[in-house]
Amino acid sequence: MATDYDIGDLVRLSATFTNTAGTATDPTATTCAIRVPSGTVTTYTYLVDADLVRDSAGAFHLDYSPVAEGIHTYRFVGTGACQTAEEKPFYIRPLRTV
């Protein structure tokens, strides 16, 4: 189920990567892709894009300011030392006042 937000909210997208033993582990490379309702995808890469932040071992976040209503999807992907992916939707409600 998607979480609901309003245009103007700062949406924190986050993921925690764990190895097969369940221990929080940093991937060798980490990305976060956001697909907006129009179908456009923007991908952020850790250590390339300052918006993608490492909080602690295996824990990453990206703060996102939506400008379009509708269903958005984000996907964190880790490769190398910790290969895993996580994808979730979130919903931006239509504006009711101007």
Domain boundaries, the chain: 3-93
Task: Output the CA–CA distances (angstroms, integers) from residue 74 to 39, 58, 86, in the order listed.
Answer: 12, 17, 8
| Residue-level pLDDT at 13 | 97
Summarised one tens digit per residue, pLDDT across range 26-64 is 999 999 999 999 999 999 999 999 999 999 999 999 999
pLDDT at residue number 64: 97
Whole-model pTM: value is 0.92
What sign does the dihedral 12-8-47-85 (CA atoms) show? Answer: positive
Q: What was the pLDDT predicted at 42?
A: 98
Is residue 96 scored above 90 in pLDDT?
no
Q: Residue 98: pLDDT band by 50, 70, 90 thresholds?
A: low
Return the CATH number of the domain spanning residue range 3-93: 2.60.40.10
